[in-house]
């Protein structure tokens, strides 16, 4: 396959974990776009947000996304990657896209247990405020995510089924 497989979806939907497994299964390289960004900017994403602001981060993210063109790899994107500029259109044209879907409640459970400090968008949010944020952001982002070629219910779909839907 000469096109990347892009995993898209909200923070905490399991893009990185599934991406690694999928890459392994398909014998492809795995690329985490957040890591590519961190390597290029030479600092953590929260530090970059604080120093340069979200707009600059989104420009960098879009540029580095487009540098992945033609790679034989499974690529997990950041939760906001498909939702800025023409990124989703580009993803559709240049790869196979998989949307990992989870309900706001399930995302909430997973994000409560994750390292919130590593995600600037979630700073200071817990419990009800976090759930409300997830519901609102997901509503805003779902129209982008839903354009993906393949939709996967993350909790109820086996790796084999996912692989079959790509082939």
Q: How far is the CB of 97 from ligand S3P (least distance, A)?
A: 15
Provide the residue count of the chain. 167
Nearer to ligand S3P, 2 or 66 (CB): 66
Q: What are 146's two structure tokens?
A: 């839903």
Q: Is 119 annotated as a binding residue?
A: yes
Q: Identify the helix (H) or strand (E) that includes residue 31.
A: strand 29-32
5, 7, 8, 11: which one binds ligand S3P (CB under 6 A): 11
The footprint of ligand S3P on residues 113-142 (CB under 6 A) is 119-121
The footprint of ligand S3P on residues 14-33 (CB under 6 A) is none
- For residues 85 and 61, what is the distance between their CA atoms, to the nearest angstrom? 10
Neighbours of 43 (CB within 10 A): 14
65 touching ligand S3P, by CB under 6 A: no
Using CB atoms within 10 Å of the CB of residue 57, give its burial: 0 to 12 exposed, 13 to 18 middle, 19+ buried: buried
8, 28, 34, 48: which one binds ligand S3P (CB under 6 A): 34
Residue 43: φ, ψ to 5°? -155, 170
Near ligand S3P by CB under 6 A, which window of 63-71, 77-85, 87-95, 156-164?
Answer: 77-85
Parallel/antiparallel/unpaired status of strands 29-32 and 73-76: parallel
Residues that bind ligand S3P (CB under 6 A): 11, 34, 45, 78-80, 119-121
Binding residues for substrate: 34, 58, 79, 141
Binding residues: 12-17, 34, 58, 79, 119, 141
């Amino acid at each position: 396959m000469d096109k990347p497989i892009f995993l898209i979806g909200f923070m905490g939907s399991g893009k990185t974990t599934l991406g690694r497994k999928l890459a392994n299964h398909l014998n492809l390289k795995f690329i985490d776009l957040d890591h590519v960004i961190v390597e290029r900017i030479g600092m953590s994403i929260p530090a970059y947000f604080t120093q340069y602001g979200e707009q600059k981060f989104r420009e960098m993210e879009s540029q580095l996304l487009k540098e992945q063109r033609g790679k034989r790899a499974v690529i997990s994107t950041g939760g906001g990657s498909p939702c800025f500029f023409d990124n989703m259109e580009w993803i559709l044209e240049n790869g196979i896209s998989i949307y990992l879907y989870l309900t706001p409640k399930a995302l909430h459970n997973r994000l409560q247990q994750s390292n919130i400090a590593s995600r600037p968008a979630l700073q200071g949010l817990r419990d009800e405020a976090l759930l409300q944020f997830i519901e609102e952001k997901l509503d805003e982002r779902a129209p982008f995510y839903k354009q993906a070629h393949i939709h996967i219910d993350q909790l109820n779909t086996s790796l084999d089924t996912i692989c079959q839907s790509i082939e």
